[in-house]
Structure 1
Amino acid sequence: MLEPLSVAIGLAGMGDLFAIWRGIRWLRYVFKPGTMLLIIALAATGLPEAGAFGYLVLAGLLFSVAGDVFLVLPQNRFLAGLVSFFCAHVLYIAAFAVRRAGWGLLDGALLAGLAAAGVLFFRRMRPGVRREGGNRMLLATGVYLAAITLMVAAAVGTRLPATAAGALLFYLSDAILAWNRFVRPLPRANLGVMSAYFLGQYLIAVSVLIGG
């Protein structure tokens, strides 16, 4: 099932990118959640063999779909989307903890580096976050940033290349989104956001099949 579902995911993802490029909102209602549902179907083919790791990843993907829906609605529900993706990251952290291969000096260095980068990034976007949603959104954004940082560190700790690459791409996707929204608009930012996001989620789903 890996190859046919991978082709379907690729085609659906390209459909969403086309909708972004052409500004066809109704197509996004089809292809954005549709791509994620196909990714969920891919992860599900690794169950029940993948055990707790697979079920936790699947739950994280489901919360991600909820976040996608909130963000694509005509009245963008950014805070609701943020909460949904926060829950997804917590589930991913739990999943990756199940597959943790150990904790070494490089893991600690990576976590410290990500934390330092996160603090600098948060300081840079803080004025924009406060302007848009006040202190409540500022707090939510800070908590979310901490969660995705821990998620990436946990993914690297699994020693599964697909998991680590997927988590890093997810982080990159969110970084582009946040910079574009709160710091400075970027040309065609949403194309970069969704390309990194779909590929990241796909690789995390694939890790259920190859690492479960």
Structure 2
Amino acid sequence: MIVGVIGAGRVGAVLGAALGQAGHTVVAASGSSPASAARMARLLPDTPRRTPAEVARAATDLLLIAVPDDAIAPLVAGLTFRAGQVVAHTSGAQGLAVLEPAAAQGGRTLALHPAMTFAGTGDDLSRLPGTAFGVTAPPGLRPLATRLVADLGGTPSGSPRPTGRSTTRRSHMARTTWSRSSTRPPTGCATPGSYTRRASSAPAASRPRQRPSARRRGADRPGRPG
């Protein structure tokens, strides 16, 4: 495949190098910082450094987007894609909705998230084999996503359903919402007498003890001898 990488950071440069080792041709990569330029010189020495727009045009088969999570949407919104081009991001916090501008232009979108901490060095290439990759892809692209993960030396996992956000994030939000609602104390009486019912149903140890009335105390007191 003819591949382009947008974001030659610690993840993008390593994955680009791994795809090159697997036989793909990395024709262009982008990276704006001096650190990215140095990383490309080490890991992608034969790949020209280009702007993101130039990389998107050059990557006729696969465009790999490896930028920070919150940078994906504005980046994708400003790029031009071609029909049939595979557009993949590496974020574990985003689903496929963030790539909708690419899909609207005929791009085939998926997400490949390696569950690995990257240093951005050649040592990462030897650590990729066996790494689990979270994969988000529509059913028709699942086989291609699996092949790409295999080319990177990884093992695919995750749901094949195209989602706007990752299943993990949705599950976490659901758990958080349930936890907050289940632990929030009552702030009022929903129905008359509800507070009384709650108080009467409390354990005996938690209810205040009632002192006997004076009349009761007198009735219980033994009489004095006459």
- TM-score, scaled relative to structure 1: 0.26
Larger radius of gyration: 2
- The structure with the largest helix share of the pair is 1
- TM-score, scaled relative to structure 2: 0.25
- The structure with the largest strand share of the pair is 2
